[in-house]
Structure 1
Amino acid sequence: PDTFFQDVYLKQNFIPLVLSQLDENPYNLDVEIYIRLRLWLIFALAKVWRKNDEARWFGVRYNVTEVLFTYLDDISPEVRAATVYALGTLIANQTTDSSKQDHADQVSHQVGARLVRVAYLDASWLVRSELVVAFAGLARQFEVQLCAMALCSMQECGGISSPVPPATACHTPLAPGRPPRVSIASTLDPVSY
C-alpha cells in the first residue's frame, strides 16, 4: 500500500466523506454511473485502511462496517464483491497496539460472522470468491486456534486415533522448488489443546 496516500487521505477526513457519499448513493440504484461511483468509493475505503491500523480504527469509530453491510445487498454483483473485499481488508489488518487486540478480534469476528450469513448465499461467483479471500486474512490471524480446533475435532470424530506428530499437524505445501512452510501451530504439543 501507498502509505503517503493513506496518511494524506486519513488526515483529510476521507473516510467520513466517502461514508456521506455512500449514504447518498443507495444500494438499489441500477444506473451504471452510480454503480461505478459506489465501486470507486468502496475500493477507495479498502485502499485507505489496507495494512493501516490507524485508518482501520478511524473507520471502526465512524461505524464504516454498518454502512458497508448495506452494500452486501447491492443490485450490482460487482459492488457486492467490492464490499466483501473492503470488509476483508478491514479484518485482515492485524493491530499493532496490544491494548486494542481484544477489540480488534471482536470486530474481526463480527464482520466475519456477518459476511458468512450474507455473502456465502450470493448467486455471484465473484462475491463468493471474494468471500474466500476475505476469510484467508482471518484464518492467518487465528491459524493456531483453527489448527487446534481442527485437531480436536478430528480426534473427537475418530478421524485420528493418536495425536498427530507436531511436524505434520498444520503443514502447508508450496510450489515446487520453494521451501515448505510449517505453521506455528505445528510446533505446539497437540495434546495440550
Structure 2
Amino acid sequence: MEFIEIDDDVFAHLQKYARPFVDTPNSTLRRLLDIDHEINIVNQKNLDAELEESTAQNSESSGTIPLSRWPFKELKAHELAGNARSKAPKSDLALLIKENFLQNGQNLYLIDYQGNRVQKFSAIISENNLVYNGQRYSMSNLAQELLLQLGFRSNSVRGPAHWVTDEGSSVKDIWQKYLDQKVRK
C-alpha cells in the first residue's frame, strides 16, 4: 500500500463527495475514479469464463455446478439473506409530536456531516414537515438544500440525522427512543 500526502483543500473537496460513516478517503477516491467498476468488469469476465468451463465439465459428470462457482450476483438479495431484517419505519415528526417527544412549533437546528451545529440554519416543526423561510420542507430535502449551501454535495441526505433540538438530540435518536419504547410496551 502506498501513502500520499494531500493538502487541506483537496481533503475538504473529498469530504464533499464522501458518504458519512461509510467512506474513507481511499473509498471516496476509488468511487470518483471509477476504479471498482473497471475491476468488477474484469472480475465478471473471469467469473463468466470460469462458469462456462465449470458448467461444461460438470454437465458431463454430475450435472451440477459446485457452490464455489455459482454466480451469486444473479441471486436476489432475499435469496441470499434468508430471514433478513426489514427496514425500520421512517421517522414521523407528527407521531413524535403526538407522543410528546417533540412539539409543534419547536425549533430544530441543522448539523453538518461532522456533527457541528450550523448556527445560521434552523427550522420550525409543523406537523410532519419543517418550515424554513415560510416554506414547508421534508427534513431530508431541507437538510440537503442547506448542506449544499455549505458546500456539501450528496444525492441522498438522511434528514433526521441532520436536525437536532436545543439540547442537541437528533430527530434520528429521538425516533429510535420512540421505537425502543414502543417495543417494550
Q: 1 or 2, which has the higher helix percentage?
A: 1
Larger Rg: 2
TM (norm. structure 2) is 0.21
Q: 1 or 2, which has the higher strand percentage?
A: 2
TM (norm. structure 1) is 0.20
